[in-house]
Chains A and B, each alone.
Chain A
């Protein structure tokens, strides 16, 4: 079990640029989540995949945010036309459907700084 892997770990970008983060979930997990965390706050849910289907995306922060999970394996989160308010840690998590409590496990996070 190698855990949830995210990259890049840190990204500094200029306002208006697009950024993409990648997440590789725990290998046997079929559920994948994206959360965002800003300083002093708990993680905030963004979107959820079960296998390759994106079952919840209404919580994505704006239409500049999109996520994909082709073939139900890794996932990408893209932010277009970044704004300074997008600066945060973007967390990917995964879980196994039917596991006790549907416990989710987080990756190490991807820090985004928009300058």
Chain B
């Protein structure tokens, strides 16, 4: 059974601070890793994906991947109240080309609250 673990939170950070969201996964065969943001009552919205060890930056967001530790994280710099949402980590076996598993396994999500 493939598992993706996230702290459910809530994680509270003050406006302007860095929010750090963490995720661990059980399947060593996993190759692609995704972060989705989900506002209450809405559907998941893709933030970014990562497939190589190291950091990947996109605006205020940085994803970090460590396959040896089976760990992926998302940093949000200069957090804003509009970032308050649940952040879902998702994992699949497919590589960068999209070959392999089509199925994403999601964690339960971490609820982030950014305090003005």
A-B complex is real: yes
* CB under 8 Å from chain A, chain B span 1-53: 4, 8, 32, 34, 36, 42-46, 49, 51
In the complex, whether A100 has a CB less than 8 A from a CB of chain B is: yes
Q: With an 8 A cutoff between CB atoms, is B54 at the interface?
A: no
Report the count of interface residues on A (CB-CB < 8 A). Answer: 29
Q: How far is the CB of B42 from chain A (nearest CB, A)?
A: 7
Q: Is the interface of A mostly helix, strand, loop or mixed?
A: mixed
Residue of A whose beta carbon sits closest to that of B92: A102
A42-B108, A98-B98, A102-B98 known; A48+B103 contact, CB < 8 A: yes
Question: Is B80's beta carbon under 8 Å from chain A?
Answer: no
Interface residues in chain B, defined as those with a beta carbon under 8 Å from any beta carbon in chain A: 4, 8, 32, 34, 36, 42-46, 49, 51, 88, 90, 92, 94, 96-98, 102-109
